[in-house]
Homo-oligomer: A and B are copies of this chain.
Amino acid sequence: MKLASLKHGRDGRLVIVSRDLSRCVPVPAIAPTLQAALDDWSACAPRLAEVAVALEAGAVADARPFDPAACAAPLPRAYQWADGSAYVNHVELVRRARGADVPDSIWTDPLMYQGGSDAFLGPCDDIVLADDAPWGIDFEGEIAVVTDDVPMGVSEADAAGHVALVMLVNDVSLRGLIPGELAKGFGFFQSKPSSAFSPVAVTPDDLGDAWDGARLHGRLLSFINGVPFGMPDAGRDMTFGFPRLIAHAARTRPLGAGTIIGSGTVSNRQGTGHGSALADGGVGYSCLAEVRMIETIRDGQPATSFLRFGDRVRITMEDGAGASIFGAIDQRVARYDRA
């Protein structure tokens, strides 16, 4: 089934969405919010699934049109957002871009940072920031899963059973602030403003063959100002699958229901050193920093700019029939004017 949170108060109003993303229905008798459903997931999920079946059959009386622009993030705020960096090609490229070391351990030990989870953006919300060029505003197209309660020390094998939902992420990154923040040794803090998520989150069973229990297979499509930018396959070159990322996060503590675990920026090696841009016949990338690094390797300097006020970024994934699975993240970068 597919779930979304319509904008309403701080935590949204949970709706079940039809597979074709055309219709939805609130389920207040089961759970008012997605967090409430996840807090009692084993009881709620089967009941929500029954409504989803009825919605597909056209047997739900109060179904209504589904509007992605009316959506908050599936979890408008969450108790945990832990983002891995499982596509090592991305790690190699962005670290090379900032002249940082790339230890061999990145192939065997997942990278993961704790992100802010108190103020997520909806799929069509503006990315509002006080500065653009000096901050180096970039998007990062990622896959994320939402877990139920995960015990501390969970094994990778057991972790696979804790994936409740799958969705897309725009992990907005401020490349101009990252070097200074990481140099301080405490992580990305100021360089990772609010992340945005796809309109709907989807249960693994609804993804069919695209979900293999550890990875989501399919091209992650991204567009800058309407121009295709990337279409790497999320199922390729993901060195660590989600169960491994969950086990990594839970090594020294339990994960509360509704924990969001991110894949890191989707990136394919494409049989070359580090892949190539769409313009060069490759599958492109899922962030601007990577194509800027490819340009730097080739030409000595980057030609592509980071995002400026007014720019748009769109991230989506389609099924084999060309239908959007999660709906699109479609955001504009806007200047923050404090009242």
Contact = CB atoms under 8 A, between A and B. Distances in A.
B111 A130 contact: no
Given A130-B152, A184-B109, A184-B111, A116 B80 contact: yes
A298 interface: no
A144 to B, nearest CB: 15
> Assembly of this chain: how many copies?
2
Interface stretch (A26-34, A225-233, A251-259): A251-259
A190 interface: yes
Given A10-B39, A186-B113, A188-B187, A193 B253 contact: yes
A185 B100 contact: yes
A248 interface: yes
Nearest to A339: B151
A336 to B, nearest CB: 6
Given A119-B254, A194-B253, A79 B82 contact: no
A115 interface: yes
A187 B103 CA distance: 16
Contacts of A272: none
Nearest to A177: B252
Interface size class of A (residues with CB under 8 A): 35 or more
B111 A114 contact: no
A79 B185 contact: no
A153 interface: yes
B184 A182 contact: no
A255 B184 contact: no
Contacts of A78: 79
A20 interface: no
Contact of A189 (B112, B128, B259): B112
Contacts of A256: 10, 77, 118-119
Given A114-B115, A153-B336, A187 B187 contact: yes
26 contacts: A77-B256, A78-B79, A79-B117, A80-B116, A80-B118, A109-B184, A111-B185, A112-B186, A113-B186, A113-B187, A113-B189, A114-B114, A114-B116, A114-B188, A116-B253, A118-B255, A118-B258, A118-B259, A129-B252, A130-B152, A130-B252, A152-B338, A153-B338, A187-B187, A191-B252, A193-B253
Q: Which 4 A-B pairs have the closest CB atoms?
A: A187-B187, A118-B256, A79-B118, A80-B118
